[in-house]
Amino acid sequence: MSRDAFGPNLRRLRMQRRLSIEEISAATRIPAELLHSLEENDFENWPAGVFARAYVRQYAEAVGADAEATVEEFCRSFPMGDRRVARTVREHAEIVGHQSEWRDEIPEGVGHERRGVPADRPSPPQPTQSSVFLRLRRVLGRA
């Protein structure tokens, strides 16, 4: 989907489902003005970061769109959906008069671990079907 089609495609979905902006605004508690600007790709008065992504997610869910895919497209297409924090950190540092040295670079090896277990450690054995069945019977009180 192109950047120019992002908002109009969401508007098309809303209209296909015969929903009004006011209904979505009431359900999501997002001001109707922001929803109108979303449909017009006008993000001048929109919040940035997590709030912008949350609003897009709520709107997508309200119109029946795939929320995850919609948020991903939003983040790729518009700077206010940017998930990197460097800009926010720089702005906060500027407010307090601090020279920020923040970098958004991900250190080597980060993200390759799951739940604090290093990637080179073997994963625990998966339960067999019979052990799952026995646990289920115990939980249900029949064993």
Instruction: Give the start-to-end residue ranges of the domains of the chain.
Output: 3-81
Confidence of residue 143 (pLDDT cuts 50, 70, 90): very low
Residue 55 backbone phi and psi in degrees, to 5: -65, -45
How far is CA 141 from each of CA 100, 135, 136, rounded to the nearest angstrom? 59, 10, 9
pLDDT for 92 equals 73
Region 34-44: mean pLDDT is: 91
**What is residue 38's predicted lDDT score, i.e. its pLDDT?**
93
Q: What percent of the chain has pLDDT over 70?
A: 64
| Residue whose pair of structure tokens reads 């929803």 in the numeric block | 35
3-state DSSP assignment of residue 132: helix
Percent of all residues in the chain with a pLDDT value above 90, rounded to a whole number: 36
Residue 72 CA to residue 24 CA, distance in Å, equals 21
Fold of the domain built from segment(s) 3-81: 434 Repressor (Amino-terminal Domain) (1.10.260)
Say if pTM beats, i.e. exceeds, 0.75: no
DSSP 8-state class, residue 48: -
100-128 per-position pLDDT tens digit: 676 655 555 544 444 444 555 555 555 55
Whether 142 shows a pLDDT value over 60: the answer reads no
63 in Cβ contact with 19 (< 8 Å) = yes
